Amino acid sequence: MLESLFLNLGQHDSLSDDEQSLLGNLMAGERSFAAGQDIVASGSRPAYSTLILDGLAARYKVLADGGRQFTSLQVPGDFVDLYAFLLKTMDHGVIALSPCRVILADHSKLRSITERAPHLT
């Protein structure tokens, strides 16, 4: 289930079996989103971070005229809102561009990983 995350992280550095286990244990519920549905809303204060398992998503900002400006494309293996772990409030939204399957990582468990495995941060 987390192969795309491990491949993504493995492009930058190697992951030990213990680190892979820690990452696997932090994941909570899996959810699905239809194309066009917000995965994370601008202004929200998520208690979890969202990892894309399948599908494509995009970050966007709402413009003054109500339109959307896409700022990045998110693919399987990407955390779409990881920095909300530190900043708390989302300053943009994330929308599913295709049907998406995601898994959630609880912020309290992420905090524990930063202490136990700083190599992952």
Q: What is the pLDDT of residues 13-35, one digit of tens each?
A: 776 777 767 666 666 789 999 99
Rounded (10°) CA dihedral 40, 45, 47, 48? 30
Alpha-carbon dihedral sign for residues 51, 55, 59, 62: negative
Q: Is the pLDDT of residue 9 over 80?
A: no
Minimal CA–CA distance to 91: which of 56, 37, 45? 45
Hey, what CATH class is 3-120 in?
Answer: mainly beta
Q: Is the pLDDT of residue 51 over 80?
A: yes
Over the stretch 58-95, which tens digit does the pLDDT of each residue have?
Answer: 999 999 999 999 999 999 989 888 877 777 788 899 99
CB 51 within 8 A of CB 27: yes
Q: What is the pLDDT of residue 85?
A: 75
Point out which residues pair with 79 in neighbouring strands: 51
At a CB cut-off of 8 Å and minimum separation 6, what does 110 contact?
26, 49, 85
Q: What is the pLDDT of residue 40?
A: 94
Q: What is the pLDDT of residue 97?
A: 98
Encoded tokens for 31:
């959810």
Is pLDDT larger for residue 25 or for residue 10? 25
Q: What is the pLDDT of residue 120?
A: 62
